[in-house]
Amino acid sequence: MKGKTNMTLVSDFVTQIIAKNPMYAELDRLYLVNRLYQLVGETPLNQPAETLLDQAAGLVAQAVANGKIEDSLTDRELLQAAIMDFVTPTPALVNQTFWNKYQVSPTAATDYFYQLSQDNDYIKTKAIAKNVVFSAATLYGDLEITINLSKPEKDPKAIAAAQHQTTTTYPKCQLCMENEGYYGRLGYPARSNHRIIRLTLGGQTWGFQYSPYAYFTEHAIFLAQEHRPMAINQRTFTNLLDLVTTFPTYFVGSNADLPIVGGSMLTHDHYQGGHHTFPMMKAPVLQQVDLGIAGLTAGIVKWPLATLRLTSNEPEKLINAATKITNAWRGYSDDSLDIRAFTGDTPHHTVTPIAYRQGDAYVLDVVLRDNQTSEKYPDGIFHPHQDVQHIKKENIGLIEVMGRAILPARLKTEMHDVEAYLVDQPNQMAAYHKAWADDLKAKYQPTPDNVQSIVHREIGVVFARVLEDAGVYKQTAAGLAGFNRFIQTLTNK
């Protein structure tokens, strides 16, 4: 209620705990009050708190004022997650509720878990709302552009203290199941309020969780219980199709398993998924191909990255076709197009696979990847080239492969300066944007009313070029001819 102060925060928060966590009942009130006093101190602050998250933030402020924690970003984040853990059921209860709801429908189960992960502040909804999101029309349809502002800034005190911190390898990485309930530490995120759904894939235990800083609706992560490197093989395709059988409204895909063309976490086998239809999934098939598998349709997708779309009502046929494509691609070279499978013993070829459902049919998009570098392209031959790196220079991973740009936070300010430059207003535009901005000045007649839409449109054009750079076979006559030469090797075997 508006106007209430921290004098009643502990009591009010305990009321929330009892209401939201089935572990607790009214008889536990004094116990919970004393647990919170131990964390935040007993002396209240005069600070209003209307929502659950406001109450949690108020309790953190009370802890700082009472000397229970230092006034640092790290200590605040760690304590806030620990406080929100009180309103979060235990892992066993969360799993039991999830699978009970699954008996009603998969959507009932995911709706429950997604809402819980937002309500308990594991998914950082307030931070995610800061992201800049828009679409841009291109030759490949409307691409999705995001400027990522949600990730927290580095804590200066944590950076300074890290050099004196004892090295620890627990958890081994941020995707390990040992993160569930982990308090966190300097340089490592708070996970007290983290929960993981257990499921079985191929006889192995896997986990299902949501991403704290989601890039799209219901951004899910599926992770192996064993801490092992990423790998793309027949088991991968089987797992992806099993997951979209279990969660038919979700897509599930895997980053490639090589650097440059892979994601940022290659040390732990995992997939990403969610309730979102990406631009690539809407792209049409440009050319049908025959892979010699009855009951399977296949085709080259009209998409800047070289993609084969496999469709069948029988997952086993998709698994066999994707395995055949991947095994052939790992050893295939075409020097005329700078495509080389190996440099010495170093492999360069892998795939990015994405599975989803279309009614009763299963779809598996298999994107061919090559991570070579060269003297001309030291960052990667099939990587954003130097002239577009003022917008995007990072790896092109799974999400971007599908047509959603994850652009760095610097661009929010930098694009304001570009817009000011285009309409001859004072600005501090970075020098590396000047050639691009001058091209826009020549192409358009920018005004204060249209300049933002111009810049947004042209960011989409640049992102399309980024994806074209990452494509091993371009959408040109020469590129499609090369793609068909590779496909011919599949049908000849």
Please, what is the Cα angle at 150 between 215 and 6, to 5 degrees?
A: 125
Q: What is the pLDDT of residues 7-18, one digit of tens each?
A: 589 999 999 999
Residues facing 364 on adjacent strands: 310, 355
Residue 2, pLDDT score: 44
**Of 30, 47, 69, the domain-final residue:** 69
Mean pLDDT across 319-344: 98
Q: What is the pTM of this model?
A: 0.94
pLDDT at 160 over 70: no
pLDDT at 446 over 50: yes
Please count the CA atoms within 13 angstroms of the CA of 248 that sit on its side-chain side.
10
Give the ranges where 287-397 is alpha helix by DSSP (H): 315-330
Higher-pLDDT residue of 158 and 263 is 263
pLDDT at 459 over 80: yes
Mean pLDDT across 273-284: 98
Same domain as 464, residue 484: no
Residue 264, pLDDT score: 77
pLDDT at 179 over 80: yes
- Looking at 307-395, which runs of residues are DSSP E strands? 307-312, 342-343, 346-347, 349-358, 361-370
195 phi and psi angles, rounded to 5 deg:
-130, 145
Same domain as 436, residue 287: no
Residue 85 lies in a domain: no
CB atoms within 10 A of CB 324: 16
Residue 121 lies in a domain: no
Residue 159, pLDDT score: 53
What single DSSP character describes residue 262? B
CA 45/CA 43 separation, integer angstroms: 7
Mean pLDDT across 416-440: 98
Residues facing 197 on adjacent strands: 208
Residue 415 lies in a domain: yes
Q: How distant, in Å, are the alpha carbons of 310, 339, 371 from that of 382?
A: 23, 9, 7
pLDDT at 163 over 50: yes
Mean pLDDT across 367-381: 97
Q: What is the pLDDT of residues 231-275, one digit of tens each?
A: 999 999 999 999 999 999 999 999 999 999 987 789 999 999 999
Residue 44 lies in a domain: yes
Same domain as 417, residue 288: no
Quote the domain boundaries for residue 413: 407-470
Residue 7, pLDDT score: 55
Same domain as 335, residue 284: yes
Q: What is the pLDDT of residues 13-71, one digit of tens each?
A: 999 999 999 999 999 999 999 999 999 999 988 777 889 999 999 999 999 999 999 99
Residue 263, pLDDT score: 76
CA 199/CA 203 separation, integer angstroms: 10
The crossing angle, in degrees rounded to 10, of helices 410-422 and 434-443 is: 40
For the chain, percent of residues with pLDDT exceeding 70: 95
**Of 50, 69, 88, the domain-final residue:** 69
Q: What is the pLDDT of residues 192-233, one digit of tens each?
A: 999 999 999 999 999 999 999 999 999 999 999 999 999 999
Q: What is the count of structural domains for the chain? A: 3
Residue 45, pLDDT score: 82
Give the ranges where 125-248 is alpha helix by DSSP (H): 125-128, 156-162, 234-246
Same domain as 483, residue 463: no
CA 448/CA 420 separation, integer angstroms: 8
Residue 434 lies in a domain: yes
pLDDT band at residue 3 under the 50/70/90 scheme: very low
For the chain, percent of residues with pLDDT exceeding 90: 91
Q: Which amino acid is at 327?
A: N
Residue 47 lies in a domain: yes
Same domain as 307, residue 239: yes
Q: What is the mean pLDDT of the chain?
A: 94
pLDDT at 162 over 60: no
Same domain as 336, residue 269: yes
Same domain as 313, residue 286: yes
Residue 157, pLDDT score: 58
Give the ranges where 46-124 is alpha helix by DSSP (H): 52-65, 73-85, 91-102, 106-119
Same domain as 318, residue 233: yes
DSSP string for 163-174: TTSPP--SSSST
Mean pLDDT across 357-382: 97
Same domain as 448, residue 348: no
Residue 368 lies in a domain: yes
Instruction: Please report where in the chains the tokens 């004072």 appear, as a residue.
Output: 426
**Of 69, 86, 113, the domain-final residue:** 69
The reply to whether omega before 229 is within 30° of 0 (cis) is: no
Residue 140 lies in a domain: no
Distance from the first to the final alpha carbon of the chain? 71
User: Cβ(140)–Cβ(403) under 8 Å?
Assistant: yes
Residue 8, pLDDT score: 81
Same domain as 440, residue 319: no
Instruction: Please report where in the chains the tokens 């570009």 appear, as a residue.
Output: 418
pLDDT at 355 over 70: yes
CA 133/CA 145 separation, integer angstroms: 6
Mean pLDDT across 447-474: 98
Same domain as 446, residue 319: no
Q: What is the pLDDT of residues 397-418, one digit of tens each?
A: 999 999 999 999 999 999 999 9
